[in-house]
Chains A and B, each alone.
Chain A
Amino acid sequence: MTRSLFKHLILILGAIVVIAPFYMMVSYSFKSPGEIDRGEGGFFGRQEMMIDERCVKLRDPDRRDIALAADRFSGQSDDQIRQALIQEAEADCSMRPVVFNYTKAFTEAPLLRYLLNGVIVTGSIFLIQVIVALPAAYALAKLKFWGREAAFGLVLFCLLIPVHAIALPLYILLAKLGLTNTYAALVVPWTISVFGIFLMRQFFMTVPDDLIDAARMDGMQELSIVWRVMLPTAIPALLAFAIFSVVAHWNDYFWPRIVVTGNRDLFTPPLGLREFKGDGDGSFFGPMMATATVIVTPLIFAFLIAQRRFIEGITLSGMK
């Protein structure tokens, strides 16, 4: 009894360390700058109304504003009108810290655009990976042809090359083709997943030959066998691969950092967050953590819903 209590104690301590940055990230995304500075307010902060200084400054009344407002405040001096207008601005610009942080996250930088880019890039990468890898995996697993061993040997050799390691020559080739700062640059190096080919080949080896022979007798071409017979049998393996691929590319920072420079329209979520950090000052901790939370949440949420599949997918590379 005490033994298992002790084990739980160790595991709980570990869990606290693991969760701490997540806790802090979400908590800061709720708090006002003052609360972050002083380290108070618990997890959610007190959520007192706060005034967005920048918003007030933007609405600082000039001569024309005062002249326009003269009707509303008839009989008052310019100075009084000015004060009244500032008060109005402050009233309009005050909000709860959580609202402030999350609206800033979406308005200071085109976060929605970044998220959309993330979806476009990860989506196209996965789609092309499947279109390229599946036929090759089928041929390597089920067709007899001269050079099959050599082709498979090439696959095994390429497994040794991490794409990040050859980023520099890839970048030079893409630059020579004039492709830097395009979606193509973000997608092209990942279109070939040697690991995907290897994985699907291992899976196809277990599919009985009879299934393929039957399809051939029905007069199916090899290519339609791939998509209409093999693909449906491979759904579980494909799903695991999808998770593996999407997680890797949604989170990837190194490659986008190299090929996308300056063009905000192409920023993926990590790049957007990085830029936010670059030009943020101290008062922007809250919005920055809100951005971070928004970027991290989709995968974590999906993970919590389909945990078993995710762990399967991510650790795929560990299966024999």
Chain B
Amino acid sequence: MGAPDITLQPLTKDTRPVPATVQERRAAWLLTAPALSLMVLILLLPVVVAAILSFTDYALGNDTFRWVGWKNYSHLFTRRTYEKMFLATFTYVVTVVPISVGLGLGAALLINSLGRFREIYKTIYFLPVMATLLAMSIAWEFMLHPSIGMINRTLELGCGTLFEAIPLIREGCADRFPVWLGDKRYAIWVISFIGIWQGFGFNMVLYLAGLTSVHRELYNAAEMDGAKSAWEQFRLVTWPALGPTTVFVVTISCIRAFQVFDTIEAFWPQGGGPNKSTYVMMFAIFEKGVQQNLIGIGSAITMLFLVFVMLLTIVQCWLVERKVHY
């Protein structure tokens, strides 16, 4: 096949448009076929499968299954466990996204305004993004250890000093310090803290990239218009210029926050935390679908999860579109 084509090539050169398109079309389909079929098999087919299974009581190993209608979904919205699941997931997302975006922006602005040592801060803040989250979760678990952990040891240092004015330290000194991961009042906040710790460096880097595209002249212009203070300049120039970056950073942070799993599985392999206070959706899919083989309910959670992620992305697209029309 290859050899004749090569010898024919000079002949077809003059009349290129017509034969080339036929050839081009065939080549194009050959080149895209593997990618397209894998997309259908690995990404689209599973969505369809999950959609179908979410209406059944299928379990791996069973030959047959029954249709159960909307039962799986109605369980999700009526049972106490799933109420906790939504609560944990949304608490996490609503905490982690704004704070990690805010800290990312703050760090970027601070670093950008500095002359020296910028690179060092950038490197340090980016470290958690690179590190294996599971390994770092275990490190955090030791830090949070109630008796020998670094955190409670550091808090103990505050005993007998002015820091005792802080309620947490006062109570800790009088009685004992929090057990953090074992306490349902703290668990979800600790998880959120680690999520923020891990993610804000990523947002910082995106904002730093965004800041390089803000033109110097805009600041000069704003100053001439009377925006002298740093805050005014930020409000009038930097923030609007960073609009598209912010939309993107928020969306990607949301999608990542929805997928939190590693820390929770590392801290509480069974059950999703004290009193299920950290029973997030990814963990629920894993526990129900994979461990307990309740495929129907797992698929229903999967479908809800996909709906959330798609909605988020659509909102993002809508926001970006709106910006374009300005």
B-facing mask of A244-284, CB < 8 A → 1, else 0? 00010011011001100000000001100110011000000
Number of A-B contacts (CB under 8 A): 274
The CA of A173 and the CA of B49, in the complex, are separated in Å by: 9
Q: Are A24 and B125 in contact (CB under 8 A)?
A: no
Nearest-Cβ distance from residue A34 to partner chain B, whole angstroms: 11
Cβ-based interface call for B28 (8 A): yes
Name the CB-closest residue of B to A318. B206
Q: Are A18 and B306 in contact (CB under 8 A)?
A: no
Q: Are A277 and B138 in contact (CB under 8 A)?
A: yes
Inter-chain contacts of A138 with B (CB < 8 A):
31
Inter-chain contacts of B29 with A (CB < 8 A):
139, 145, 147
Name the CB-closest residue of B to A188. B42
Cβ-based interface call for A58 (8 A): no
Identify which of A133, A145, A296, A319 contacts B135 (C-beta below 8 A): A296
The CA of A87 and the CA of B58, in the complex, are separated in Å by: 62
Q: Are A253 and B133 in contact (CB under 8 A)?
A: yes
Q: Are B142 and A289 in contact (CB under 8 A)?
A: yes
Inter-chain contacts of B285 with A (CB < 8 A):
167-168
Q: Are A24 and B126 in contact (CB under 8 A)?
A: no
Nearest-Cβ distance from residue B197 to partner chain A, whole angstroms: 7
Inter-chain contacts of B124 with A (CB < 8 A):
15, 18-19
B-facing mask of A153-164, CB < 8 A → 1, else 0? 011001011111
Inter-chain contacts of A214 with B (CB < 8 A):
none
A-facing mask of B170-209, CB < 8 A → 1, else 0? 0000000000000000000000000001000110011001
Cβ-based interface call for B261 (8 A): yes
Q: Are B202 and A314 in contact (CB under 8 A)?
A: yes
Inter-chain contacts of A296 with B (CB < 8 A):
131-132, 135-136
Stretch at the interface among B75-83, B158-166, B216-224, B262-270: B262-270
Q: Are A151 and B32 in contact (CB under 8 A)?
A: yes
Inter-chain contacts of A74 with B (CB < 8 A):
none
Cβ-based interface call for A217 (8 A): yes
Stretch at the interface among A93-101, A231-239, A304-312: A304-312
Cβ-based interface call for A2 (8 A): no
| Chain B interface SS verdict (over half) | helix
Q: Do A221 and B133 contact each other (CB < 8 Å), given the known contacts A143-B24, A144-B24, A194-B39?
A: no
Cβ-based interface call for B315 (8 A): no
Identify which of A170, A253, A318 contacts B261 (C-beta below 8 A): A253
The CA of A274 and the CA of B269, in the complex, are separated in Å by: 10
Cβ-based interface call for B2 (8 A): yes
The interface on chain B, measured as residues whose beta carbon lies within 8 A of the other chain's beta carbons, has a size of 95
Inter-chain contacts of A28 with B (CB < 8 A):
142
Inter-chain contacts of A162 with B (CB < 8 A):
255, 259, 309
Within 8 A of A (CB), among B282-326: 282, 285-286, 289-290, 295, 298-299, 302, 305-306, 309-310, 313
The interface on chain A, measured as residues whose beta carbon lies within 8 A of the other chain's beta carbons, has a size of 96
Q: Are B31 and A166 in contact (CB under 8 A)?
A: no
Name the CB-closest residue of B to A12. B121
Inter-chain contacts of B128 with A (CB < 8 A):
18
Cβ-based interface call for B13 (8 A): yes
Q: Are B143 and A172 in contact (CB under 8 A)?
A: no
Nearest-Cβ distance from residue B3 to partner chain A, whole angstroms: 10
Nearest-Cβ distance from residue A242 to partner chain B, whole angstroms: 14
Q: Are A139 and B45 in contact (CB under 8 A)?
A: no
Q: Do A253 and B150 contact each other (CB < 8 Å), given the known contacts A144-B24, A165-B302?
A: no
Identify which of B50, B135, B150 contacts A168 (C-beta below 8 A): B50
Q: In the complex, which of the residues B2, B34, B249, B298 has the most CB atoms of chain A within 10 Å of its own CB atom?
A: B34
Within 8 A of A (CB), among B4-62: 5-6, 9-10, 13, 21, 24-25, 27-32, 34-36, 38-39, 42-47, 49-50, 53, 60
Stretch at the interface among A3-11, A48-56, A63-71, A119-127: A3-11
Q: Do A24 and B302 contact each other (CB < 8 Å), given the known contacts A158-B39, A303-B130?
A: no
Q: Do A164 and B298 contact each other (CB < 8 Å), given the known contacts A169-B47, A169-B50, A251-B132?
A: no
Q: Are B42 and A273 in contact (CB under 8 A)?
A: no
Nearest-Cβ distance from residue A263 to partner chain B, whole angstroms: 16
Within 8 A of B (CB), among A107-139: 132-133, 135-136, 138-139
Nearest-Cβ distance from residue A42 to partner chain B, whole angstroms: 13
Identify which of B139, B299, B313 contacts A24 (C-beta below 8 A): B139
Inter-chain contacts of B265 with A (CB < 8 A):
253, 257, 274
Residues of B within 8 A of A (CB): 2, 5-6, 9-10, 13, 21, 24-25, 27-32, 34-36, 38-39, 42-47, 49-50, 53, 60, 103, 107, 110-111, 113-115, 117, 119, 121-136, 138-140, 142-143, 148, 150, 153, 197, 201-202, 205-206, 209, 244-245, 248-249, 252, 255, 259, 261-262, 265-266, 269, 282, 285-286, 289-290, 295, 298-299, 302, 305-306, 309-310, 313
* CB pairs A–B below 8 angstroms (10 shown): A7-B113, A19-B124, A37-B148, A136-B31, A144-B24, A166-B46, A175-B60, A219-B10, A254-B262, A277-B266
Residues of A within 8 A of B (CB): 4, 7-8, 10-11, 14-15, 17-22, 24-25, 28, 36-37, 39, 132-133, 135-136, 138-140, 143-148, 151, 154-155, 158, 160-173, 175, 188-189, 191-192, 194, 197, 216-217, 219, 221-223, 226, 247, 250-251, 253-254, 257-258, 269-270, 273-274, 277-278, 285, 288-289, 292, 295-296, 299-300, 303-304, 307, 310-311, 314-315, 317-320
Known: A11-B107, A168-B298, A303-B126. 12 other contacts (CB 8 A): A4-B115, A14-B125, A39-B148, A158-B39, A161-B306, A165-B259, A165-B305, A168-B302, A172-B60, A274-B266, A292-B132, A296-B132
